[in-house]
């Protein structure tokens, strides 16, 4: 993974476009990325986790308003729909910002004034992981990302000898392929998330990036699966990406949006 031109998300409404087909230089370039954070925790024994999550989300929103914080932020709770159980998190919170200026301001406010919220969280969750990611758009989504929707995650690994430049070329071609099939941001959105901090430690556990696809609802998810399996989109994907990356079986979540830009 590169650092100077970091390729580094989820979620799928990140406003910056990842794919810049640079006609001036003749070479495609990555554009600006955006920050994403993910919390993954276990519920404490004897806790009604869903009820406590809703209560906490309401109190966190009030705290954010009181501190004039997280005004450009989207936050969502995520509840598993399809998973093999190897990601055993009970409580998943994903949030993202349009810029690092906004995220830095909000994270500092939380660090300085967030003790009451940490105390509330500690009443019902434990064994938390907190990670930060950089997000780059592959296929920008519509406004439906500001309401409850469906999000699909897959972990991807570069094949030997392949890297960011190979992926970018494939990304541009795949976005054009989906557009040629009539798919738009009303149907889905896709980003790639790159680990910045807090991802699993050790090189043996290190993924290259997460491939994240969002859909307005499960009907849209099923419609995309029809195009993927039965209308040949998977063949186009294999042709473009098969020599570049390997991605594991996906997990699908209901994304419950609890905060949108104020």
pLDDT value for 124:
97
Evaluate if residue 15 carries a pLDDT over 90: no
pLDDT band at 206 (very low <50, low <70, confident <90, very high): confident
pLDDT band at 200 (very low <50, low <70, confident <90, very high): confident
Average pLDDT over residues 55-70: 98
Backbone conformation region of residue 23, classed left if phi is above 0, alpha if psi is from -120 to 50, else beta? alpha
Per the listing, tokens 């043996």 go with: 204
Evaluate if residue 86 carries a pLDDT over 90: no
Q: Supply the CATH classification number for the domain 19-259.
A: 3.30.70.100
pLDDT in tens, 238-247: 999 999 999 9
Average pLDDT over residues 248-255: 96
Evaluate if residue 203 carries a pLDDT over 90: no
Evaluate if residue 123 carries a pLDDT over 90: yes
Average pLDDT over residues 22-27: 53
pLDDT band at 2 (very low <50, low <70, confident <90, very high): very low
Domain spans of the chain, in order of start: 19-259
- Specify the pTM: 0.89
pLDDT band at 85 (very low <50, low <70, confident <90, very high): confident
pLDDT band at 84 (very low <50, low <70, confident <90, very high): confident
Instruction: Tell me the average pLDDT of the chain.
Output: 89
pLDDT value for 9:
36
Evaluate if residue 13 carries a pLDDT over 50: no
Evaluate if residue 5 carries a pLDDT over 50: no
pLDDT in tens, 138-148: 999 999 999 99
The sign one gets for the Cα dihedral 163, 165, 171, 177 is negative
pLDDT band at 26 (very low <50, low <70, confident <90, very high): low
- Residues of the chain with pLDDT > 70, as a percent, come to 88
């Amino acid at each position: 993974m590169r650092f100077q031109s970091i390729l580094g998300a989820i979620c799928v409404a990140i406003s910056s476009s990842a794919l810049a087909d640079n006609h001036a230089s003749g070479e495609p370039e990555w554009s600006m990325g955006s920050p994403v954070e993910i919390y993954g925790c276990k519920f404490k024994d004897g806790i009604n986790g869903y009820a406590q999550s809703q209560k906490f989300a309401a109190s966190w929103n009030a705290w954010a308003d009181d501190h004039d914080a997280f005004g450009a932020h989207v936050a969502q709770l995520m509840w598993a729909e399809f998973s093999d159980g190897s990601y055993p998190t009970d409580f998943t919170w994903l949030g993202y910002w349009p810029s690092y200026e906004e995220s830095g301001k909000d994270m500092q406010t939380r660090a300085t004034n967030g003790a009451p919220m940490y105390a509330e969280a500690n009443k019902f969750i434990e064994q938390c992981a907190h990670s930060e990611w950089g997000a780059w758009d592959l296929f920008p989504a519509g406004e439906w990302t500001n309401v409850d929707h469906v999000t699909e995650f897959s972990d991807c690994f570069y094949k030997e000898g392949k890297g960011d430049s190979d992926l970018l070329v494939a990304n541009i071609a795949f976005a054009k392929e989906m557009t040629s099939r009539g798919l738009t941001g009303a149907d889905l959105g896709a980003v790639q998330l790159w680990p910045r901090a807090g991802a699993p430690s050790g090189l043996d556990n290190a993924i290259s990036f997460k491939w994240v696809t969002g859909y307005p609802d499960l009907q849209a998810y099923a419609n995309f699966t029809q195009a993927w399996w039965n209308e040949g989109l998977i063949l186009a994907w294999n042709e473009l990406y098969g020599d570049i990356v390997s991605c594991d079986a996906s997990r699908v979540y209901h994304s419950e949006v609890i905060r949108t830009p104020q």
